[in-house]
């Protein structure tokens, strides 16, 4: 064993020396980019990486079809990638699986190669393809178009969950039952440290996150998020408490089965989701509602469920719940921080005659709320047609995920 280790060390040292001797003379460092140019350059680089991933998947599919790896002495395409590309086994298997699926997903593959879809978006669409090949083939054009339009990959995964429920509700429930069978909590004592390992359903995880959420840290608090969560857990374990709260958004269409994918994408009202975006089946909603208090929020034709005028400066809890049900996350362009990290902001400030009503309130995370109140940014318009201007008065709109800034 010692002899083998010494030989390996000598070989590595010899290879390093040869690489150093063959290395070209170092060139002058490029001038640093302007911050805006650096952002554009980063997005352009990531876009090229996605396109290269698409080309790699196409080349791998061609190699797989002819089984060229066998002629080179490898047992599989995965073995070829592990050796020739110095790739970890998990990454190699992921790349092989993606290339095989894209052969059967021509529209997805085309948009992928054109740079309109990211790797993560493609993987979400592949999950839909693996769920039901035939149904995906029929709906591929619609799903790909919606994937390009949605600003966050998380929303694409939600869309696919709704699509699965429309295609095969019993199979979705069966998958959920299989996941539930994995539930459990393991406890270990390890050299003076206690460790908890929990495996729960996504809906239960949302409840747990909501319960343990310590909120944004104050400036004097130097604890990490994980440390603050641990302290919150011990606070709850040390005191009597009511059952944790989980906010679920559901409309009638979800329970009657009359909702469509188009409604999910174009309508701000969710079908059946927790406040964290976990998609629930109708049966899942029923199970949660079976042992929970229910607060009904009825949206009128103008989307205004409640208005308390100017009697109150701060938004009371019923109004906040209504705004959360409508906005779902921070409304600042390009931000998706969840409601528990957000304040309710008056679009027209209360001191300037603004009313405390749903139409005049939006969710803003603490960072963007501070940006508006203390850095000179402004919000105008309405809750459904919000306009944001920077401290120089310029209209701000987040660029599309795949586009370079002008």
Residues forming beta bridges with residue 189, ordered by sequence position? 194
| 30 vs 352: CA distance, rounded Å | 51
Neighbouring residues of 375: CB distance < 8 A, sequence distance ≥ 6: 391
> What integer pLDDT is reported at residue 122 of this predicted model?
96
> What integer pLDDT is reported at residue 64 of this predicted model?
86
> What integer pLDDT is reported at residue 357 of this predicted model?
79
Query: Out of 141-155, 161-175, 299-313, which region has the weakest mean confidence (pLDDT)?
Result: 299-313
> What integer pLDDT is reported at residue 103 of this predicted model?
94
> What integer pLDDT is reported at residue 126 of this predicted model?
95
> What integer pLDDT is reported at residue 34 of this predicted model?
53
Confidence of residue 294 (pLDDT cuts 50, 70, 90): low
The number of beta carbons lying within 10 Å of the beta carbon of residue 387 is: 14
* Higher per-residue pLDDT: 367 or 406: 367
Indicate if the pLDDT at residue 405 is higher than 70: no
> What integer pLDDT is reported at residue 129 of this predicted model?
94
Indicate if the pLDDT at residue 48 is higher than 60: yes
Indicate if the pLDDT at residue 109 is higher than 80: yes
Q: Answer whether 251's CB lies under 8 Å from 242's CB.
A: no
| 406 vs 404: CA distance, rounded Å | 6
H or E stretch at 369: helix 366-374
* Higher per-residue pLDDT: 311 or 392: 392
Residue reference for tokens 């390996």: 8
Query: Out of 49-58, 118-127, 275-284, which region has the weakest mean confidence (pLDDT)?
Result: 275-284
pLDDT tens per residue across span 314-353: 677 778 888 888 888 888 888 888 888 888 888 887 666 7
Burial annotation 345-380 (CB, 10 A radius, 16+ → b, else e):
bbbeeeeeeebbbbbbbbbbbeebbebbeeeebebe
Indicate if the pLDDT at residue 236 is higher than 80: no
pLDDT tens per residue across span 152-206: 898 999 899 889 888 888 888 777 777 777 888 888 877 777 888 888 877 788 8
Of 183, 146, 178, nearest to 162 by C-alpha is 146
Eight-class DSSP state of 112: H
> What integer pLDDT is reported at residue 253 of this predicted model?
61
Q: Look over the chain and give the mean of its residue pLDDT values, rounded to a whole number.
A: 76
């Amino acid at each position: 064993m010692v002899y083998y280790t010494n030989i390996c060390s000598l070989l590595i040292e010899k290879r390093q020396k040869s690489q150093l001797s063959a290395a070209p003379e170092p060139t002058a460092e490029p001038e640093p980019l302007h911050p805006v140019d650096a952002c554009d350059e980063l997005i352009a680089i990531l876009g090229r990486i996605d396109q290269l991933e698409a080309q790699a998947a196409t080349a791998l599919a061609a190699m797989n079809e002819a089984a060229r790896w066998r002629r080179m002495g490898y047992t599989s395409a995965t073995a070829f990638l592990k050796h020739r590309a110095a790739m970890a086994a998990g990454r190699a298997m992921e790349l092989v699986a993606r290339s095989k699926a894209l052969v059967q997903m021509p529209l997805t593959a085309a948009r992928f190669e054109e740079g309109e879809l990211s790797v993560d978006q493609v993987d979400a669409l592949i999950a839909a393809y693996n769920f039901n090949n035939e149904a995906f083939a029929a709906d591929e054009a619609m799903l790909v178009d919606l994937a390009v339009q949605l600003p966050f990959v998380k929303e694409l995964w939600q869309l696919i969950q709704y699509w699965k429920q429309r295609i095969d509700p019993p199979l979705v429930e069966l998958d959920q039952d299989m996941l539930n069978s994995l539930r459990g909590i393991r406890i270990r004592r390890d050299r003076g440290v206690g460790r908890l390992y929990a495996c729960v359903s996504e809906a239960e995880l949302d409840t747990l996150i909501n319960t343990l959420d310590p909120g944004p840290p104050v400036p004097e608090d130097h604890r990490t998020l994980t440390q603050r969560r641990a302290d919150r857990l011990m606070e709850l374990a040390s005191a009597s408490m009511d059952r944790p709260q989980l906010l679920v958004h559901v409309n009638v269409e979800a329970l009657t089965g009359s909702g469509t994918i188009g409604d999910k994408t174009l309508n701000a009202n969710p079908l059946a989701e927790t406040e964290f975006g976990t998609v629930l089946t109708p049966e899942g909603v029923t199970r949660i509602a079976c042992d929970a208090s229910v607060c009904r929020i009825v949206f009128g034709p103008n989307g205004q469920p409640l208005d308390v005028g100017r009697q109150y400066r701060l938004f009371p809890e019923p109004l906040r719940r209504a705004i959360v049900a409508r906005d779902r996350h921070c409304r600042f362009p390009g931000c998706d921080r969840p409601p528990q990290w957000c304040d309710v902001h008056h679009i027209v400030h209360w001191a300037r005659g603004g009313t405390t009503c749903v139409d005049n309130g939006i969710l803003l995370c603490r960072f963007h709320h501070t940006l508006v109140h203390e850095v000179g940014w402004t919000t105008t318009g309405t809750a459904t047609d919000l306009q944001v201007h920077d401290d120089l008065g310029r209209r701000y709109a987040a660029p599309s995920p795949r586009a370079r800034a002008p």
